[in-house]
Structure 1
Amino acid sequence: MGISSGDSFGSGGGSSFGSSSSGGRFDFDSSTHHHHHHRDPFYSNSFVGSFRGNNQRESSGGSGCEGGCGKPCSIFVPFFTCIGSLIVIFGFFQSEQAPMSLNYSRLISTYSVFVKEIQIQNLRDPGPVIYSFSERPALRESVDYIENHVDLVETFSHREWRYWLNKGSTIRVSYDVKGLAGDSLVLAFIKGTQGLEDWKKAPNSPTKALKWYRIHGNGIKEFVVDHDDEHFIAFGNLNIQDMEVTTEMKIHSTLYDVKGAKNSTAFTPDFDAVTFHVSLFQSDCLVLATPSEPQGGVDVWEVHIVYTARWATFFLIWGTIALGLFILCGAEARGVRLWRNNQEELPLLAPQNDQAVPSAVTSYSPSGTAHPPLGSLDELGESPSSDHHLCNICLDAPKDCFFDPCGHRCTCFTCGQRIQGNSSTCPICRQPIRAVRKIFDT
């Protein structure tokens, strides 16, 4: 049997248990009918893509992480790991209140690494029974039943019926809609409470439901369940007048076989709460079931399910992250000190008594290898107009400057000053530029 509820779109929503129903008027925002798509622009302001020739090959020949990609990795990996662990605690295994109707059969299973205990408290009359298993039971049982309803769906309002359905269940809805010619209702099959909330915000969007139809007159719609979850059969009225719908719902519900249960616990007036301990690295699970017939005129129940986290697991995860960050930061600090020591030991300019190359530059790369000094163009056997010695930016003037402190020589003095004014980082090694030194070749 389903649980009926209904209200205006966008409101808090009301529910009534049993075969009765409720509804309400809503203030529908028509702007939700339209969807506007936009894309944020992405800008790139890197000089590396403009470089050509040997300097581009030099910059791409390294490991690719020497420019500082280790720091973002060391920050984002633990950050998202912590966020993921918090989602597991407060998202997947958060407490919930579960309303139940007749023929309710729900499997409750958790990850024993993250959950220590499961507490279930009965909030209404006795009737529900909890079965515990050491292994996941099979969906071998089934039940078929028919429900007939006559509902008035008010203008800009909705009416839904709630069912917990397991994999393999089917719903066959026969409907007869009464209203003015041309008016229609929205029939939607929705999974989950969050899915229902999303559908109520945009009831005319087919993407907000598993199945979405615009119905009028009479007809039949069928839906097959592919995953255990709470499902809703919803009718939405987007017309300016009330509409009446008569439905016959044929439900084939698959049930878990409880014959092989280790033990069972039934709620009584004196026993309304039970706690189950989840064994570590075990596949323990529970089945929460309700009777197939009303008990003393009661056909709807409600329980509160609370999951207790296994905090030792999360402390172990967070401790491992902290230890990894400590080791990584220590390695980065040692690498920076070693790089600075090597940079101080290697001279940037050749000695002045070297008459062959009086102003040759010895460049030092972040990998710790010193490039040979660049002599005059005549000694290399190439003319000053050779492309190899032209500025990588303008390809017009010769390379007559280098960047201080890294010592890379790849641009003319004019383009070097422009780079210093724009990005202030060397396009080869991405180190901050302290000054642009002009080279006078003789």
Structure 2
Amino acid sequence: MASAPPSSSPDVEPSAPFLVNQRTEPDLEIFNWGECLEMNINNFFRTLLVVWLFVSFYVIEILYGPKNVWLGPNSSILVEPSSIFIKSLQVKELEESKPGLMLFGFSKSPSLDVYVNWSESRMFTISNSYKGWAYYLNQGTTLNISYNVKPQGSSVQLVVDEGIQEVSQSLLNNPTYRDTYWSWNLIQGSGLIELDINKSSSYYLAVANLQRKDVEVELDIDVRAVLYNTTSSFYNCTFSNGECTFNAMSLLGDYVVVTSPAPSQAQGVSIEDEWYIRFSYQPRWISYFIISVVVICFTLVAIHFSERLQPRTQLLANKDDDSSSTGSCNESFADDDADLEEFIGNEGEASKSNRGLCAICCDAPRDCFFLPCGHCVSCYQCGTKIEEAGGSCPICRRAVKKVKQIYKA
């Protein structure tokens, strides 16, 4: 004979099971400053590695990439190759080799204190074109340009610009772009223009006539040039085969000066001579390799220590010790019980009697905790279902990766 089902106590009304809504909206997530800081530190060091790669590219291809320079008579140019990144410097004449070019090597920066005065006269007729000359002028050089334009009433443009070897007639026609030139003057009749060079660089002096009628121009250019003192050099090269190579040696720094001669009939150098040269740098690859290895090692070590130093949530020990398991759940998460009561909406004395029951089924005792958050809020059976469903912790909403059972005596 089947026995009648036991009647429930009239004093205690069993709580109805409820469904936990697993919401994953980002606005309900608890912001984890530790994870954010760890991510930022890791990204910083990875960014540092990428920045070093870009710096290496800039040094090799731009800062120490090949450079072409025009030199006129009585010129000198200083180059400072870094012996850390540069193994050697090659200077080569790109056009027909001319006599008089010299290369000097120094262990310290030479002084810019040699003053040379020279002048040149140029007479030419120009129509609907321009005529120009290249110079390399050091800081402190002064130019006095006297001009005479014929016939009376005619005018031409006198342009001095930095770093170019030609002028654009389209820009000369547009008054808006005339201010982009280092010096621009509309000259007519007779006059004098004084220019002070405040930066060592290549300069191009040009006279342009945009009209179709012939204009006769006479220029007298007086130059007070400043050159580098080459008396203390420890190396020199005469460009006998059209090129010179300087091997960087001193870790404290190397300096190279290339000079052109003054106009001289004895040496066969005229005022019209120009030297077109190229500076080519051979990288010291071992330096880039060593620095890259150091940066990579530093990045890896920094990431490793940043991960170890980040504060982590203390999880329950995976042991079958009854007192340890029970104590950990009760001591570590006692503060979470108040949040749990608010979560399930229980009030009054009934909620106090259900503190040790599963927050999901409200029937079995809490005998498990979630990883990685460590919250103890459900029975092992309900916790396993949450894990299999890919759910989240009802307290902190973090994804449940694993469920550990707590064994009680």
Q: Determine if the alignment matches structure 1 residue 315 to structure 2 residue 289.
A: yes
Which residue type is aligned with residue 280 of structure 2? Answer: V
CA shift, 1:199, in A, is 7.0
Counterpart of 2:104 in structure 1 is 131
Which residue type is aligned with residue 247 of structure 2? Answer: H
Counterpart of 1:390 in structure 2 is none
Q: TM-score, length-normalised on structure 2?
A: 0.60
Task: Report 1:8-87 matches (<5 A).
Answer: 66=37, 69-70=40-41, 73-87=44-58
Which residue type is aligned with residue 273 of structure 1? Answer: E
Counterpart of 1:277 in structure 2 is 247
Which residue type is aligned with residue 107 of structure 1? Answer: L
Distance in 1 (alpha carbons) for counterparts of 2:75 and 2:114: 12
Counterpart of 1:44 in structure 2 is none
Distance 1:356 1:95, change over 3 A: closer
CA shift, 1:147, in A, is 1.9
Counterpart of 1:289 in structure 2 is 259
CA shift, 1:164, in A, is 0.8
CA contact (8 A) 1:175 1:218 kept: yes
- Once the two structures are superposed, what CA deviation does each residue of 1:76-99 show, in whole Å capped at 9, x if it has no partner? 433333222212112122223444
Q: Determine if the alignment matches structure 1 residue 358 to structure 2 residue 334.
A: no
Structure with larger RCO (C-alpha < 8 A, sep 6+): 2
Distance in 2 (alpha carbons) for counterparts of 1:213 and 1:166: 22
Distance in 1 (alpha carbons) for counterparts of 2:155 and 2:269: 36
CA contact (8 A) 2:132 2:206 kept: yes
Q: TM-score, length-normalised on structure 1?
A: 0.56
Task: Report 1:163-178 matches (<5 A).
Answer: 163-178=135-150
Distance 1:235 1:275, change over 3 A: same
- Once the two structures are superposed, what CA deviation does each residue of 1:133-161 show, in whole Å capped at 9, x if it has no partner? 22222122221122222344543x44332
Distance in 1 (alpha carbons) for counterparts of 2:256 and 2:236: 9
Distance 1:66 1:103, change over 3 A: same
Distance in 2 (alpha carbons) for counterparts of 1:112 and 1:406: 64
CA shift, 1:233, in A, is 1.9
CA shift, 1:166, in A, is 1.1
Distance in 2 (alpha carbons) for counterparts of 1:288 and 1:358: 86
CA shift, 1:168, in A, is 0.8
DSSP 3-state at the match of 2:344: coil
DSSP 3-state at the match of 1:222: strand
CA contact (8 A) 2:134 2:202 kept: yes
Q: CA RMSD in A?
A: 4.8
Counterpart of 1:258 in structure 2 is 230
- Once the two structures are superposed, what CA deviation does each residue of 1:393-442 show, in whole Å capped at 9, x if it has no partner? xxxxxxxxxxx889799xxxxxxxxxxxxxxxxxxxxx99xxxxxxxxxx
Q: Determine if the alignment matches structure 1 residue 147 to structure 2 residue 120.
A: yes
DSSP 3-state at the match of 2:206: strand
CA shift, 1:278, in A, is 0.8
Q: Determine if the alignment matches structure 1 residue 219 to structure 2 residue 191.
A: yes
DSSP 3-state at the match of 2:140: coil
CA shift, 1:261, in A, is 2.3
Which residue type is aligned with residue 163 of structure 1? Answer: Y
Match among 64, 81, 97 for residue 93 of structure 1: 64
Which residue type is aligned with residue 95 of structure 1? Answer: P
Distance in 1 (alpha carbons) for counterparts of 2:232 and 2:171: 45
DSSP 3-state at the match of 1:316: helix
Which residue type is aligned with residue 283 of structure 2? Answer: A
Distance 1:407 1:213, change over 3 A: farther
CA shift, 1:165, in A, is 0.9
CA shift, 1:304, in A, is 3.5
Distance 1:65 1:192, change over 3 A: farther
CA contact (8 A) 1:199 1:209 kept: no
Task: Report 1:391-410 matches (<5 A).
Answer: none
CA contact (8 A) 2:148 2:188 kept: yes
DSSP 3-state at the match of 1:111: coil
CA shift, 1:103, in A, is 1.1
Distance in 1 (alpha carbons) for counterparts of 2:37 and 2:92: 57
Match among 53, 56, 73 for residue 102 of structure 1: 73
DSSP 3-state at the match of 1:247: strand
- Once the two structures are superposed, what CA deviation does each residue of 1:334-388 show, in whole Å capped at 9, x if it has no partner? 799957989xx999x966996566349xxxxxxx999xxxxxxxxxxxxxxxxxx
Distance 1:164 1:229, change over 3 A: same
CA contact (8 A) 1:352 1:358 kept: no
CA shift, 1:309, in A, is 1.1
Distance 1:324 1:264, change over 3 A: closer
CA contact (8 A) 2:34 2:311 kept: no
Aligned length: 311
CA contact (8 A) 2:127 2:213 kept: yes
Distance 1:213 1:135, change over 3 A: same
Counterpart of 1:437 in structure 2 is none
CA contact (8 A) 2:116 2:225 kept: yes
Which residue type is aligned with residue 159 of structure 1? Answer: K
CA contact (8 A) 1:144 1:253 kept: yes
Counterpart of 1:417 in structure 2 is none
Which structure would you say has the larger Rg?
A: 2
DSSP 3-state at the match of 2:253: coil
- Once the two structures are superposed, what CA deviation does each residue of 1:186-234 show, in whole Å capped at 9, x if it has no partner? 43332223xx679777444255233333444443222211222111223
